[in-house]
Structure 1
């Protein structure tokens, strides 16, 4: 399939907002016959996303996208057939935090630990964040795995950036991260675009 025939062109950079998209696209490649995508690397440090050609594509000047090629509901839940699971997934996708947090380093670290605790409680009886029984690998996991909160300084996948060297205090989060780090789509998706 030539690049001109690929259904999606992703404008992305090496960012936690781009990784959920490339991870999901890699997962879709495995289940949708003939599906593929191209990407164009956007270096946000040079403000390429603010150039007129990009603003014409995306007036918000951001590199976020939401593809809808998972018609089998493999990585998300059907709102009509699985309304509870769908609601569960949305809650994890749109988990937000208060913006009125003092800027002191201790406060950020305490809040990051609290959020890891929220994840750990959820993952106590679940392998994945959303779904019945043990849950299923879905876009809720993909987005949360690559999550970076500007206001919180919270990285889930790269937790050391928050000042949390180890997630040993949250064994369920640790096991979840280990599961996700073995997913083929995660391994491939975090390599798009290449670092060089």
Structure 2
């Protein structure tokens, strides 16, 4: 059984997509990041960076009592290796997937996240910062569009690379991107959106947070006002 510490963010969606694709048994422990639950003692034991998601696997492959993993990319790789699904074992194919998984972790996610912050959440508009991250998001979309020009999925076959990237493209309008300008990306995006496991993962998110509301000022302080003093 997998215990998933989760909130309805792109990084959270990655893991529910994988779990729904594989049918691996799991339970969800919601971590309301706007209310500061990511600073709870039990969660920090498993996710010392106070970010969701994290997992506890109570039945790891080596027969040990349990193992915990934080960072969404590491979780996807761990679960793929545990199940033998969505991550090839052949060397070349494996590293096609892992390169694009790390591309998302080091590029698409952080840049789109800064795009969200300066475009939506920042208390004052800083044109340079907004333009910087909107343009970088556009460049990354173009990289992905080019990659998808001659293949159905990012690494050829459907993989954890697709599960990692898709949730970060879902908010393309918030990121000020015209998805029609990236036809191969758009085709892939629509294919992903039709997958039953993806549909189920997003339906699950609505059960946990039925109505998405703008963050309050207090929630913004929790989310964006963290310094060294919050590290326990």
Residues 160-179 of structure 1 correspond to what in structure 2 (within 5 A)?
160-164=173-177, 166-179=178-191
Separation in 2, partners of 1:62, 1:71:
23
Tell me, yes or no, if structure 1 residue 84 matches structure 2 residue 78. no
User: Which stretch shows the higher mean deviation, 50-59 or 13-22?
Assistant: 50-59
Is the Cα–Cα contact under 8 Å of residues 14 and 192 in structure 1 kept in the other structure?
A: no
Cα distance change of structure 1 residues 46 and 72 upon mapping to structure 2, 3 Å threshold: closer
Q: C-alpha distance in 2, partners of 1:136/1:36?
A: 24
Q: How far 1:105 moved relative to its partner? A: 1.9
Instruction: Show structure 1 runs of 4+ deviating over 3 A.
Output: 69-74
Instruction: Calculate the aligned-residue CA RMSD, in Å.
Output: 2.2
| Structure 1 position 56, deviation (Å) | 2.3
| Residue 38 (str. 1) matches residue 38 (str. 2) | no
- Name whichever structure is richer in helix by fraction: 2
What is the SS of the residue equivalent to 1:192?
Answer: helix
Q: For residues 174-193 of structure 1, what are the structure 2 equivalents within 5 Å?
A: 174-193=186-205
On the 8 A contact 2:7/2:52 being kept in 1, the answer is yes
Q: Which residues of structure 1 form unaligned runs of 5+?
A: 1-6, 30-34, 148-155
Alignment TM-score, normalising by the size of structure 2: 0.66
Q: CA deviation at 1:36?
A: 1.7
> Residue 22 of structure 2 aligns with which residue?
28
Aligned residues: 168
Q: Distance in 1 between matches of 2:128 and 2:43?
A: 33
Q: Is the 8 A contact 1:28 1:69 kept in 2?
A: no
Q: Which structure would you say has the larger RCO, counting Cα contacts within 8 Å and 6 or more residues apart?
A: 1
Q: CA deviation at 1:73?
A: 3.5
Q: What stretches of structure 2 of length at least 5 have no aligned partner?
A: 55-74, 116-126, 211-232
